[in-house]
Protein backbone atom coordinates (compact mmCIF):
# COMPACT_ATOMS: atom_id res chain seq x y z
CA UNK A 1 0.00 0.00 0.00
CA UNK A 2 1.33 3.39 -0.91
CA UNK A 3 1.81 5.74 2.01
CA UNK A 4 0.19 9.15 2.15
CA UNK A 5 -0.13 11.65 5.02
CA UNK A 6 -3.21 11.30 7.19
CA UNK A 7 -5.55 14.30 7.15
CA UNK A 8 -4.01 15.59 10.40
CA UNK A 9 -0.45 15.13 9.14
CA UNK A 10 -1.33 16.83 5.86
CA UNK A 11 -2.52 19.91 7.76
CA UNK A 12 0.59 19.82 9.93
CA UNK A 13 2.79 19.47 6.84
CA UNK A 14 1.22 22.54 5.29
CA UNK A 15 1.80 24.49 8.50
CA UNK A 16 5.43 23.29 8.63
CA UNK A 17 5.95 24.56 5.08
CA UNK A 18 5.08 28.07 6.23
CA UNK A 19 7.28 27.75 9.32
CA UNK A 20 10.31 26.42 7.40
CA UNK A 21 10.48 28.09 4.00
CA UNK A 22 13.97 26.60 3.41
CA UNK A 23 13.18 23.12 2.14
CA UNK A 24 16.28 21.56 3.76
CA UNK A 25 14.99 22.68 7.17
CA UNK A 26 11.75 20.83 6.56
CA UNK A 27 13.37 17.38 6.48
CA UNK A 28 13.78 16.92 10.27
CA UNK A 29 10.25 17.97 11.31
CA UNK A 30 8.60 16.05 8.46
CA UNK A 31 10.52 12.90 9.34
CA UNK A 32 9.31 13.36 12.90
CA UNK A 33 5.76 13.94 11.70
CA UNK A 34 5.72 10.60 9.87
CA UNK A 35 7.37 8.81 12.77
CA UNK A 36 4.75 10.20 15.16
CA UNK A 37 2.07 8.85 12.87
CA UNK A 38 3.52 5.41 12.10
CA UNK A 39 6.30 4.80 14.64
CA UNK A 40 8.97 4.48 11.95
CA UNK A 41 10.17 5.96 8.66
CA UNK A 42 11.36 3.44 6.08
CA UNK A 43 12.67 4.15 2.57
CA UNK A 44 9.19 4.27 1.05
CA UNK A 45 8.16 7.01 3.49
CA UNK A 46 11.47 8.82 2.94
CA UNK A 47 10.76 8.86 -0.81
CA UNK A 48 7.28 10.23 -0.10
CA UNK A 49 8.76 12.94 2.13
CA UNK A 50 11.29 13.89 -0.57
CA UNK A 51 8.51 14.04 -3.19
CA UNK A 52 6.27 16.13 -0.97
CA UNK A 53 9.00 18.60 -0.02
CA UNK A 54 9.99 18.77 -3.66
CA UNK A 55 13.06 19.86 -5.62
CA UNK A 56 15.90 20.24 -4.80
CA UNK A 57 15.25 17.71 -1.98
CA UNK A 58 15.70 14.12 -3.07
CA UNK A 59 15.59 10.73 -1.37
CA UNK A 60 19.35 10.87 -0.69
CA UNK A 61 18.93 14.05 1.41
CA UNK A 62 16.10 12.57 3.48
CA UNK A 63 17.92 9.25 3.83
CA UNK A 64 21.11 11.03 4.96
CA UNK A 65 19.27 12.88 7.72
CA UNK A 66 17.17 9.89 8.82
CA UNK A 67 20.18 7.59 9.11
CA UNK A 68 22.30 10.17 10.95
CA UNK A 69 19.87 10.47 13.88
CA UNK A 70 18.98 7.42 15.97
CA UNK A 71 15.79 9.32 16.86
CA UNK A 72 14.31 8.04 13.62
CA UNK A 73 13.35 4.37 13.46
CA UNK A 74 14.11 3.03 10.01
CA UNK A 75 11.97 -0.03 10.55
CA UNK A 76 8.95 -0.92 12.63
CA UNK A 77 9.66 -1.14 16.37
CA UNK A 78 7.77 -2.64 19.29
CA UNK A 79 5.34 -0.79 21.54
CA UNK A 80 8.31 -0.12 23.86
CA UNK A 81 11.48 0.85 22.07
CA UNK A 82 14.38 0.31 24.47
CA UNK A 83 17.43 2.25 23.34
CA UNK A 84 20.57 1.54 25.31
CA UNK A 85 23.35 4.08 25.14
CA UNK A 86 26.60 2.48 23.96
CA UNK A 87 28.86 5.49 24.12
CA UNK A 88 31.92 5.87 26.31
CA UNK A 89 30.49 6.78 29.76
CA UNK A 90 27.78 4.16 29.51
CA UNK A 91 30.26 1.64 28.14
CA UNK A 92 32.65 2.20 31.05
CA UNK A 93 29.74 1.92 33.51
CA UNK A 94 28.63 -1.44 32.09
CA UNK A 95 26.03 -0.91 29.40
CA UNK A 96 26.92 -4.37 28.04
CA UNK A 97 25.56 -6.01 31.20
CA UNK A 98 22.32 -4.08 30.79
CA UNK A 99 21.97 -5.06 27.13
CA UNK A 100 22.75 -8.72 27.76
CA UNK A 101 20.37 -8.85 30.70
CA UNK A 102 17.53 -7.25 28.74
CA UNK A 103 18.06 -9.41 25.67
CA UNK A 104 18.15 -12.56 27.78
CA UNK A 105 14.97 -11.61 29.62
CA UNK A 106 13.15 -10.76 26.40
CA UNK A 107 14.66 -13.67 24.48
CA UNK A 108 15.82 -11.53 21.57
CA UNK A 109 19.09 -10.19 20.17
CA UNK A 110 19.98 -6.50 20.09
CA UNK A 111 18.21 -4.94 17.10
CA UNK A 112 15.29 -7.36 17.29
CA UNK A 113 11.66 -7.09 18.35
CA UNK A 114 9.85 -9.61 20.52
CA UNK A 115 7.34 -11.87 18.74
CA UNK A 116 4.42 -10.08 20.44
CA UNK A 117 5.78 -6.76 19.07
CA UNK A 118 5.94 -5.37 22.58
CA UNK A 119 9.69 -4.67 22.94
CA UNK A 120 12.53 -3.70 20.63
CA UNK A 121 16.08 -3.44 21.97
CA UNK A 122 18.52 -1.15 20.14
CA UNK A 123 22.01 0.14 20.83
CA UNK A 124 22.41 3.87 20.24
CA UNK A 125 25.02 6.58 20.50
CA UNK A 126 25.24 9.10 23.36
CA UNK A 127 21.85 10.31 24.57
CA UNK A 128 23.35 13.25 26.44
CA UNK A 129 22.95 11.91 29.97
CA UNK A 130 26.58 10.79 30.41
CA UNK A 131 26.71 11.81 34.08
CA UNK A 132 23.96 9.28 34.84
CA UNK A 133 25.50 6.28 33.09
CA UNK A 134 24.58 3.61 32.34
CA UNK A 135 21.30 4.77 30.94
CA UNK A 136 18.63 3.90 28.40
CA UNK A 137 15.65 5.53 26.79
CA UNK A 138 12.30 3.78 26.45
CA UNK A 139 10.08 5.60 23.99
CA UNK A 140 10.46 9.21 25.16
CA UNK A 141 11.51 8.58 28.78
CA UNK A 142 15.06 8.34 30.17
CA UNK A 143 16.11 5.75 32.78
CA UNK A 144 19.43 6.54 34.42
CA UNK A 145 22.02 5.05 36.83
CA UNK A 146 20.75 1.63 35.86
CA UNK A 147 21.38 -1.57 37.74
CA UNK A 148 20.13 -5.01 36.74
CA UNK A 149 17.57 -4.86 39.57
CA UNK A 150 16.39 -1.49 38.31
CA UNK A 151 16.04 -2.87 34.78
CA UNK A 152 13.87 -5.73 36.08
CA UNK A 153 11.62 -3.29 37.90
CA UNK A 154 11.27 -1.11 34.80
CA UNK A 155 10.48 -4.10 32.62
CA UNK A 156 7.88 -5.40 35.06
CA UNK A 157 6.22 -1.99 35.14
CA UNK A 158 5.81 -2.16 31.35
CA UNK A 159 4.47 -5.70 31.12
Q: Name the site residues for ligand FES (rule: CB under 6 A).
A: 85, 87-90, 126-130, 133, 135
Least spacing, CB of residue 94 vs ligand FES, in Å: 11
Which H helix or E strand runs over 18? helix 7-19
**CA atoms of 112 and 92, how far apart (whole Å):** 24
**CA atoms of 81 and 155, how far apart (whole Å):** 12
Judged by CB, which is closer to ligand FES: 9, or 87? Answer: 87
Contacts of 1-10 with CB under 8 Å at 24 or more apart are: 2/44, 3/38, 3/44, 3/45, 3/48, 4/48, 5/33, 5/34, 5/37, 5/52, 6/37, 8/37, 9/33, 9/34, 9/37
**CA atoms of 133 and 144, how far apart (whole Å):** 6
Least spacing, CB of residue 126 vs ligand FES, in Å: 4
Least spacing, CB of residue 129 vs ligand FES, in Å: 4
Judged by CB, which is closer to ligand FES: 41, or 123? Answer: 123
Judged by CB, which is closer to ligand FES: 78, or 123? Answer: 123
Judged by CB, which is closer to ligand FES: 37, or 150? Answer: 150
Judged by CB, which is closer to ligand FES: 130, or 154? Answer: 130
Least spacing, CB of residue 135 vs ligand FES, in Å: 5
Least spacing, CB of residue 74 vs ligand FES, in Å: 21
**CA atoms of 40 and 67, how far apart (whole Å):** 12
Amino acid sequence: MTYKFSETSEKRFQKLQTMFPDKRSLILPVLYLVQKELGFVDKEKMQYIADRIGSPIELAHVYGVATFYTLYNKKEVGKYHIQICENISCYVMGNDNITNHLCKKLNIQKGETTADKKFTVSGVQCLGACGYAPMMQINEKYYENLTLEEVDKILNSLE
